[in-house]
Amino acid sequence: MTASPLSSPDVSRALHSPVIAWFDEHARDLPWRRPEAGPWGVMVSEFMLQQTPVSRVLPVYGQWLARWPRPAALAAEAPGEAVRAWGRLGYPRRALRLHGAAVAITERHGGDVPRDHAQLLALPGIGEYTAAAVASFAYGQRHAVLDTNVRRVFARTATGVEYPPNATTAAERRLARALLPEDEATASRWAAASMELGALVCTARNPDCARCPVAGLCAWRLAGKPPHDGPPRRGQTYAGTDRQVRGRLLAVLREAVGPVPGALLDTVWEEPVQRARALDGLVSDGLVEPLAGGLYRLPQT
Ligand code: SF4
């Protein structure tokens, strides 16, 4: 690991101004960043964006907010409607979790997304990342918001390595807290700006260092960009996996108006053992409800 020029707090602060100034000029105009999105729009976007690119999220986000502009509107519908509206965003348990959060917000908080980080974290389906992101982006609070893009930017600028570890470590959390500006408004801006820098400039495969506002401070670049020597990075294989089979099974149920016979689900994938395993997984995850007579539907309760 390369010694970082950012080890002292004074120097680490040198990152803030250039990254925030770059963000002021280059941030994308995304609907969840507009004032009218409100905390619910921010929360919906954070659920959708966690494992899905912006371009795929945009249309589903728009339809979702048009149909369910408030948490109570979503909470009033069956969870299966959330799964249906999730469409092809992938990782559909996120739809169930968002529905569960909407129910809890309606029951415990009068239908308003709570402002308090601990109350956000106490909602079902909300983990450390989402609680911090909503508190920071929707309410302008001071929290370390560590998504994949931010972790990569910090790995390169401060730690001097090309990629962060596969799973977030305590050391990364400490570093993120150490890099957080002191005042709330700047910290919130910094969280959004460092994330955008990772999304647009310091990308995983082709970082555009010539356009980077902190190229002169970046430990990895200054060390000559040593190649990754940690454990192999997790791939995103999809074809042939249970995820693909689950996606096909759910697509049939999303498009059906009522319950679907198991025989129709059998047509989506030839290999019976994998198909059965995928369907069992969907049922145990609460994404599919088995009915009498060999019928299946999206969850109604
Ligand atoms: S200089 Fe290059 S590697 Fe370093 S933060 Fe900027 S874009 Fe990323």
Q: What is the pLDDT along the chain (301 residues), one digit of tens a residue?
A: 444 555 556 667 789 999 999 999 999 999 999 999 999 999 999 999 988 999 999 999 999 999 999 999 999 999 999 999 999 999 999 999 999 999 999 999 999 999 999 999 999 999 999 999 999 999 999 999 999 999 999 999 999 999 999 999 999 999 999 999 999 999 999 999 999 999 999 999 999 999 999 999 999 999 999 999 888 777 668 888 999 999 999 999 999 999 999 999 999 999 999 999 999 999 999 999 999 999 999 999 8
- DSSP letter at 282 equals H
**Which structure tokens are listed for 244?**
């693909």
- Kind of pairing, strands 295-297 and 260-261? antiparallel
Burial label for 255, CB within 10 Å (0-12, 13-18, 19+), is: exposed
Catalytic residue IDs? 46
Report d(CA 37, CA 8) in Å as an integer: 37
The verdict on the CB of residue 195 being under 6 Å from ligand 1 is no
Ligand 1 center–CA 135 separation, angstroms: 27
The verdict on the CB of residue 201 being under 6 Å from ligand 1 is yes
Give the residue, out of 161, 194, 201, 205, with the most ligand 1 atoms within 8 A of its beta carbon, to mutate for a pocket test: 201
Exposure class string for 142-175: b at 16+ Cβ within 10 A, else e: bbbbbbbbbbbbbbbbbbbbbbbeeebeeebeeb
Ligand 1 center–CA 228 separation, angstroms: 15
Nearest to 6 by CA among 194, 263, 220, 205: 220
Report d(CA 141, CA 230) in Å as an integer: 34
**pTM of this structure:** 0.90
